Amino acid sequence: MSAPEPEEVSLFAAVGGEPTFRRLVDKFYEGVAQDPLLRPMYPEEDLGPAADRLTLFLMQYWGGPNTYSASRGHPRLRMRHAPFRVDPAARDAWLRHMREAVDSLGLAAPYHSALWDYLERAAYFMVNAMDNAEPTH
């Protein structure tokens, strides 16, 4: 049997599987825990369950096990963020912590940029409110 072609290996597997995604999200939530804008948005006192949901979602997205959907159903992430005010300031704070977390993994350049490009696009897509939104009339 021949070795698998590179494109047959998921990013999930290539970057080290679940332990890598756990490190990513744990680092991200260390930043969120200290963030005066983001921390109050999280309804639960304990950030652990939220960290677990994000970890499982990202693992699934990148080709790992489908545990996220098995327990939470279809992601429908924009809908799930509707209760939260995600304005550009919240997006930028989220991305700042995520950037630190991605950088901390020390991934090879192609994986680093694939992961980061996706997270940046996803965060822009999640915005559902403008800064200082006031009714105009």
Residue of the chain from 22, 27, 39, 53 that contacts ligand HEM (CB under 6 A): 53
Residue of the chain from 11, 50, 89, 114 that contacts ligand HEM (CB under 6 A): 50
Tell the smallest beta-carbon distance from residue 4 to ligand HEM (Å). 27
Residue of the chain from 11, 42, 89, 104 that contacts ligand HEM (CB under 6 A): 42
Is 94 one of the binding residues for ligand HEM (CB under 6 A)? yes
Is 39 one of the binding residues for ligand HEM (CB under 6 A)? no
Is 57 one of the binding residues for ligand HEM (CB under 6 A)? yes
| Residue 81, Cβ density class (10 Å: 0-12 exposed, 13-18 middle, ≥19 buried) | middle
State the number of binding residues for ligand HEM (CB under 6 A).
20
3-class DSSP string for 43-56: CCCCCHHHHHHHHH
Is 97 one of the binding residues for ligand HEM (CB under 6 A)? no
Q: What's the rounded Cα separation, in Å, for the pair 88 and 21? A: 25
Tell the smallest beta-carbon distance from residue 21 to ligand HEM (Å). 12
Is 99 one of the binding residues for ligand HEM (CB under 6 A)? no
CA distances from 48 to 3, 7, 77, 131, 137 (A): 39, 33, 19, 28, 42
Contact 90, 38 (CB under 8 A): yes
Name which of 5 and 61 has its Cβ closer to ligand HEM: 61
